[in-house]
Amino acid sequence: MAILVGGIGASHSPTIGFAKDTGKQNDPAWAPIFEGFAQIRQWVQKEKIDVIFTIYNDHVTSFFFDHYSAFCLGIDDQYVAADEGGGPRKIAPVKGHLGLASHIGFSLVADEFDMSFFQGKPVDHGFLSPLGMLGDDNGPWQGAVVPLQVGVLQLPIPNARRCYKLGKSLRKAIESYPEDLRVAVMATGGLSHQVHGERAGFINEARDDEFLDLLEKSPEALVEKRLAEYAALGGMEGAEVIMWLIMRGALSDKVNLAHKSTYAPSATNIATLVFEDTGSAPSKAGVEAYRAHVGYELAGAEKLEGTYPFTLDRSRANYRVNAFLHRLIVPAHRARFKNDFDALAIEYGLTEEETALIKNREWLKLIQRGVSFFVLEKMAAVLGVSNPEVYAHFRGETLEQYLATRKQAITYSVSGDVED
């Protein structure tokens, strides 16, 4: 089983990535940043951490306000640097751990957290600034990650208690994962800072020291505080430290403080922190009961004949072809699909198998492979194929045979009235 070894706290200011990319290790003004992260890096290496569950917030780079979620879990096999306006950092991709990510996703939903999931999105400094300091000079952390993006930039946001409760569920999820992994939970962001309005530049180092002390010894005192209190004491953007309560909630009540440092050179108080977990391993019976709880809602669905539940694993395995067909909502892509399909398929990196399944309208095989019906529905509309024709193909029937089983013999599709 997976073991939760400890928790890490780390600021994620773009200052950190800038310092590394420009070689500021020996500059006295920047050296304390590197010294703090060196302590985390050494601990990670000593403890032989396999996976870092990384809690961060995106800075309106890959997650915009057209669809903004509270808790969004990454289910990708790698995470590349995002372009935040001046081009992406030249930093190697970070590997994702798909198995653990999927298990955690199912676990948190089973514990009634309304999760969303992302793949195919680059990550910005909120994720890469701290992870980039845990690898060697040529790249970021060399192990695997599971990212959790927390939406803290558009109000309302989850409160401190909700974050702490999510951490409690996260611990159960990690400890019930069957693979032998050594896992650390890293919370990023903070400490005190504000980057907008007349209060820009606000820092409260005394409050930051108090926050870190309470986080170690009395986290419940932090759980009770309202967002307005966090903003008043640590700055509006500094209130993102509620994400650290996810990390703390995942750990044992008592922790060993292995490292703590702060440094406030400019716009934010940069912190690094390591807590070692002291809790005992869960019982075998407890783990089995929790796994049954996680699988309860879908138990038996896999046995329904002719039914293919669209799980996170199927979604990730077929993301490329699903994304290709989803883009049929874009007129230019739709036109090329109809008039220049072979070149378009090559451009999007479809495999020969995927290309053949689409060209030959192998509706059932596409479903069995893991393509969502709701992108096939779009494909059918583009091709002038009605929904009932697709249903008939699934059942191995002609359209007439299928319609004979309906109360009304009607055909329809999601196609609009205007041709491209």
User: Looking at the annotation, which residues are catalytic?
Assistant: 125, 193
**Could you tell me which residues come within 8 angstroms of residue 268 by beta carbon, excluding any fewer than 6 positions away?**
11, 13, 15, 190, 191, 192, 193, 203, 238
In angstroms, the first-to-last Cα distance of the chain is: 54
**Could you tell me which residues come within 8 angstroms of residue 100 by beta carbon, excluding any fewer than 6 positions away?**
2, 51, 53, 144, 146, 174, 177, 179, 181, 183
Q: Strand runs (DSSP E) across 141-227, as ranges?
A: 144-150, 182-188
Question: Which of these, 226, 262, 271, lies nearest to 244 by C-alpha position?
Answer: 271
**Could you tell me which residues come within 8 angstroms of residue 99 by beta carbon, excluding any fewer than 6 positions away?**
177, 179
For 94, the token pair is 């970070």
For 212, the token pair is 């870190």
For 270, the token pair is 């940069």
